[in-house]
Amino acid sequence: SDDFWDESLEHDSADIFAEQTTAPVILYPDFASNPIYQSNPNATFTFFVDGSFDYSTPAHYYGNDTIVIGFTDAGYPQPAIIVYDTLFIEVVPINDTPTINDKFFIAQEDSFLIDMPILDSTDTDIEGGFQSPTLIDSTDNGAVFITQDINGNPVFSYNPDPNFYGVDSFSLLLCDFGELGAFPILNEICDTMWLYINVFPVTDTPVIVDNSESVLEDDTLTSSYVDGNDIALDGNLVLAEFVDSTLHGELILTDSSGSYTYIPSPDYYGLDSFSVIICDDGPPTPPTLCDTNWVYITVIPINDAPVIINDSIVIEEDQVYSGNAVGSEDTDIDGNVIYSTVFALPNHGVLSINTNGEYTYTPNAEYYGSDSIGVILCDDGTPNPPQNCDTNWIFFTITPVNDPPVVFDTFYFMASSDTLSINLIDSNEYDPELSTLVYPNGTTSGPNHGTITFDSTGNYTYIPENNFTGVDTLVFEICDTGLVVNGDTLPVACSLDTVLIQVTCQVGDSTFDCDNDGLTNYQEDSLGTDPFNPDTDGDGVIDGTEEVVDGTNPLEPCSYLQTSITLEITTTEDCTFSIPEGFSPNGDGTNDTWLIQGIDNFLEAEVKVYNRWGSLVYQAKPYKNANGWDGKSNNGVSLIGEDLPVGTYFYLIDLGSVGAFGPGSQTLFKGYVYLNR
């Protein structure tokens, strides 16, 4: 089929009948009527004068065709004779080439094409369809799958590679079946089809991964919140918005590319964070896409050095100062400040310091000026070792003082009929600064049982009152003349000087009543009674005011009146009272304590002992010989329990019972005792 047949027809003598003539007859086509008959009216038949013809069929036609044509002679002799000839034409079928067209598809980045038809109306095969396509060249930027839909038509599915956009393609081989009905065609015809997929881009959401950073306490962190984990698939990452700042430090965003500097707050450690919104820059197509990026910062603690402040202390000359080397101003933000060691001892004093930093500083006697102590203070090593230490200087300013004069209580004994004239300032009393001692204001108290006259040089005269026996006390104020130090005059300093005067009765003074029994010494002498004992016969009745007045004999204990009874209470106790003038507490078992004979009979007896500077060094009430004074201090400036040095000490003994040895007897005793070792 589809061929054009050009052929010259020669008649068959068996089929053409002509008039018998003597010469050959030439036949001519009858153009007016040819063809006479044609079975396929759609075919085109053209008959030419020379007997040739053209034959053509419609496109894709095949089958048999019968054509009848007529021939005529020249018409001589008349009439012309027409004869007919029949042509049998077989149009043999062939396999027509199918019509296949390339295809174009549109997809979106990261989206699928599913069951897309491979063939459409432009793809034809006149003989009846296509076999299943065969993949020749697959896609370069995605995966393609060739399948069939529910109607058996070939389709494909395409999955582009992630984030790919652009043109991708693949090719298929399409073939017809190579046969037509009952006419098998041995040769199938194939053609190649290209399928083009234009993948349009979309803006991908950037991949943002939170960041974790660390920095040491009080250090600086420089980093970027955009790192290799943060990806802009289509372009660049840029800072869009600053959302949440840090709570425990200063954050400085250096530029929009992600660089930043973080400075933690002083001494802070722990967690901190901030957040930013990061976007891509919009390509390949708007809009920009964003995500939030959190940056978590761990501030690692360190052991901060303690803050140590030197101490400045002002004390007076001879003042003992107690304190702690760790002061309230010495701080450690991480923990506690503790004492470590001493590295510099004082030059003008003595330091005693404990392991907890408590110390006592004693300046040298009479020293004033500057002194210092150097100690090392450390923290306790928290939160992380090692310890941090620093030096702490303790500076002392020792201000001078005008020391009061050194005076000693003095003891004098006199007869009641005598006059005592002495100078208050003796050779043992002095001023530590060696200024002149003066006696400015007389007595500050006393006398209580006499009169005194004095002058400013310290000379005074004491006269006891009539019939007084016992101890009278006078207190004087002795002063220096001040002290000039570095051009400054310090105030005058004074001390109180106590003078104890023991007034005793003299028998030779006939007008005195030495034992206060109502009888003068003259009367006592006349009666034969004891002038120093108010009860000579010991019957419990006073010699003068009772016995003589009552008419009884003061020398006879059994002399009595009917109207009076004298009861005598006797005791087996030794009532002798004696104060030794020395003892030796040296551990040899002899005189190791101050044994005062008879003091155990007085339940309220009190003993006070003073050193030569008038300081109380020992005191006991009641005083018992069983635990008497052993030469150690239990009071005053000396350390408790310390052995007192060898020397003279002054005592004051108060028996606490009026008339312990009878009416009017002495109860207060003052004197000195020598301590030897």
- CB contact at 8 A, 214 and 300: yes
More confident residue, 429 or 133: 133
Range of the domain at 651: 582-675
Structure confidence by residue, pLDDT tens digits, 175-207: 988 766 555 655 788 999 999 999 998 877 788
| Same domain (yes/no): 78, 108 | no
**205 domain residue, yes or no:** no
**573 domain residue, yes or no:** no
**575 domain residue, yes or no:** no
Q: Which two tokens stand for residue 126?
A: 């006149």
Burial letters for 576-608: b for 16+ Cβ neighbours within 10 Å, e otherwise? ebebeeebebeeeeeeeebbbebbbbbeebebb
CA atoms of 361 and 79, how far apart (whole Å): 176
Structure confidence by residue, pLDDT tens digits, 128-176: 788 889 999 999 999 999 999 999 999 999 999 998 999 999 999 999 8
| Same domain (yes/no): 80, 125 | no
**269 domain residue, yes or no:** yes
| Same domain (yes/no): 614, 660 | yes
DSSP H or E segment with residue 52: strand 52-56
Q: Which of 381, 322, 311 is nearest to 351 (CA)?
A: 322
**528 domain residue, yes or no:** no
Structure confidence by residue, pLDDT tens digits, 88-101: 998 888 888 889 99
More confident residue, 538 or 318: 318
| Same domain (yes/no): 420, 364 | no
| Same domain (yes/no): 291, 340 | no
| Same domain (yes/no): 259, 194 | no
Instruction: Kindly tell me the burial class for residue 328, based on how many C-beta atoms sit within 10 Å of its own C-beta (0-12, 13-18, 19 or more).
Output: exposed
Exposure on the CB side of residue 374, measured as CA atoms within 13 A? 6
**624 domain residue, yes or no:** yes
| Same domain (yes/no): 136, 83 | no
What residues contact residue 285 under an 8 Å CB cut-off, 6+ apart?
201, 202, 203
Taking 60 as the threshold, does the pLDDT of residue 71 lie above it? Answer: yes
**340 domain residue, yes or no:** yes
CA atoms of 54 and 8, how far apart (whole Å): 9
pLDDT of amino acid 18: 36
**460 domain residue, yes or no:** yes
Q: Please give the C-alpha separations between residue 224 and each of 196, 269, 271, 284, in angstroms, as whole numbers.
A: 43, 21, 18, 25
| Same domain (yes/no): 108, 196 | yes
Domain stops at, among 140, 165, 200: 200
| Same domain (yes/no): 150, 235 | no
More confident residue, 434 or 251: 251
Domain stops at, among 399, 424, 439: 399
The CATH number of residue 449's host domain is: 2.60.40.10
How many domains would you assign to the chain?
6
Domain stops at, among 165, 200, 235: 200
The model's pTM: 0.43
CA atoms of 138 and 115, how far apart (whole Å): 16
The CATH number of residue 609's host domain is: 2.60.40
Indicate the average pLDDT of the chain.
82
